Structures are given as C-alpha cells and as structure tokens.
Amino acid sequence: MIYKLLYVIRAVIYTWYLIITTIPLFLILALSHPLRIAGFSLGDKARSFVKEAWSHSMFFIFHILAPTKFIIWFDENDSLSAAYCSKLFSMKSSVPSNKVIFMGNHQLYADWLYYWWIIDCVSHGSDIVIMLKDSLRKIPVIGWAMDMFEFVFVKREWRYDSTNIEKKLKSIDKWNNAAFLIFPEGTTYSDQTKASSDAYAKKHDLPLTKHVLLPRVTGLFNCLTLAHWDAIIDITIGVEGLKAYEDPKKFALRSLLFEGKPPKAIHVKIKYYLASDIPSDKSEFSDWLFERFREKDKQMNKFYRHGGFDGVMVESAWKKKRWYLILSWCIICMLYVGIFIMP
C-alpha cells in the first residue's frame, strides 16, 4: 500500500513539474520561431537559452527523484583523453573540443539522458543534438520538446534518413560549437538484436562480440564527412545493477522516476580521438570503428566481472554550477502559472 502511494506521489510530482516547466518552452520557441526564420540572432539565442535551461530543469528533477553518481574512467597514458576529461571537473581543456561527435554504446532505453548529462558537463547544453529513433518523438512532452530542439529522429534505414541527416549536418556545420550524439549500434542490446549482430558478423567474417552490438558504419561515417569536426569522443558506459545479458527495461524511465529505482552508479569510460587522426576512407573507417567496439566489448567484459573499467577512476558529483539557469527558468514558469491563475 505504501509503495503504491509513493509511486503515485512521485508520478504526480514529476508530471506536474514536467507540465509546468515545459509549456513555457513551447510558448517561447513558438514566439521566437518567426525571428529565426527572418534571420534574427535573437531567435537563435532564445532557443539556446530555453534548450539549456529546460535540460537543467530536467537534470534537477532526475537528481531529486532518481539520484545516481557518475564514475569517470580514462587511460592514464592517454594524454588527450585525460586532458579532455579535465573539462568534467574544471571546465577547461587544452584539446580542441568546440565541435565534437560523441559515440557510445546503448546500454539502456533511457541512457541518452545520462549521455546528455555527461555532454552538458563538457560542452554547452545549448549546442547538443542527439540522434534518436523516430518512436521517441512521440513521448508526451519530452519527445515534443526534443523535436522542437531540432534533434535528429531516424528510422535506422539510410535510404529514408539520409536527406534528413544531411540537412541537419549542413546546418550544424555553420555553428561555432556543436555536440552531436550518435549510437552506432542503432538500438539497445537484447537477445533479438544480438542474434542479428552475430548473423552479420558471421556473414562478413568478423569476430563475435559478447556485450555490445556491431556498429552500423554508414550513419557515423556520413556524419563525420558531411560537417567539420574537431574530434570524436568515444564513450563506454556501464550501469551498476545491470548484469550481463539482463533486460535493460530494468532501468526504464518508469522505474527511474516513479518507482525510485535508479542505478547506484553510471561508469563512464572516455577516449578522445582527433578528427584528423580518423580514417577518411570508408573501408578504413569501418575497420577503425569495428576495432573501437571490440575494445568496448573487452571493457564491458571487465566491467561485468570486476565492476569497473581499465584506467584511472574519478567520481564526478552532480554539477550545480548552473543554478542560475534552473532558477531563471523556474521564475519564468511561475510567472506563466501566475498569469493563468490570476482572476
């Protein structure tokens, strides 16, 4: 009985918080859209502010309802990765990082939210673009918000997605800063997707993997070549509490927010690659990408056995450096509510 009551209370808190903080988002974006079409920078600035402020309001409610800690890993002898990881703590870095592609393994259905948090810590939240499957666009409120943020929604078929992706990347190429998140596996790990991955590996005489799926080369290769990038950041995440081959639905959004059952910790292994060092030939790039996922598979095997990755471990606290964004957004939301409840 108490469990059901807590479930309802958490669901009500999250739902009302989401509604109150998101409706002003739609209003501001709708009002600023004509300015963007007309080419006024104020329209872009309004969207950037709303995008970053709203995302921080989401991080805040997740921190309250589904708190988890992040443990960062990097190789001690990898100076580029170590320098980049310093941004997680000091917000300064000596390596190029204005326009970056982030690629990661897809552990959970909701892990894009954790990736979003990680990227926000090392980049500007207003510059993030995430490539997601098309069905996520239909999630009430959150999906609509991401659509208005111009995230890229794909059907995972290049013949259908190519035009949409090319158009978005040409737009991103004009930005001064960009953080583009893509999951080369295309989907989460399951018995069905693993069987498809193994069949592809056998057909093309590739080594089988245990804990990750083989990546799809075409999407990432075209993302890399259709715009100018400083680097690719390769992220491998391991989820404490999720065993090898266990159903990722264990940490679905409902479990995280309504049942209050978040992972104890998210382990994050970061590797930094200069774009100039990545093969420009598609065949060579394919070999490079498959090698990265073989490395991921080895790291995940170690994680499931020993609870951590190779390298140096640093625990990262939830960042509170942008409280002004949350505060200013809450003030806007309260003004909005006040206007509509006043007689």
Q: Which of 82-86, 196-200, 221-225 has the lowest mean pLDDT?
A: 82-86
Sequence-distant (6+) residues with CB within 8 A of 153 are 131, 132, 133, 134, 136, 137, 147, 164
pLDDT tens for each residue of 24-64: 777 777 777 777 767 667 777 777 778 887 787 788 888 88
pLDDT at 89 over 70: no
Give the tokens for residue 281. 């030939």
Q: pLDDT band at 335, cuts 50/70/90? A: low
Query: Does pTM top 0.85 for this prediction?
Result: yes
What are the C-alpha distances in Å from 111 to residues 108, 217, 248, 256?
A: 5, 21, 10, 11
Residue ranges of E strands in 50-127: 69-74, 99-104
b/e 318-338 (16+ beta carbons within 10 angstroms → b): ebeebeebbeebbebbeebee
- Tell me how far apart the alpha carbons of residues 66 and 263 are, in angstroms, rounded to a whole number: 8
pLDDT number for residue 23: 76
Rounded to 5 degrees, what angle do the CA atoms 199, 202, 206 make? 120
Q: pLDDT band at 329, cuts 50/70/90? A: low
pLDDT number for residue 292: 97
pLDDT tens for each residue of 274-283: 999 999 999 9
51 close to 289: Cβ distance less than 8 angstroms: no
- Residues 184, 187, 191, 196: is their CA dihedral positive or negative? negative
What angle, 0 to 180 degrees and rounded to 10, lies between the N-to-C axes of helices 323-341 and 41-65? 100
pLDDT at 323 over 60: no
For the chain, percent of residues with pLDDT exceeding 70: 86
pLDDT number for residue 331: 62
211 close to 88: Cβ distance less than 8 angstroms: no
CATH architecture type of domain 68-317: 3-Layer(aba) Sandwich (3.40)
- Where in the chain are the domains? 1-67+323-343, 68-317
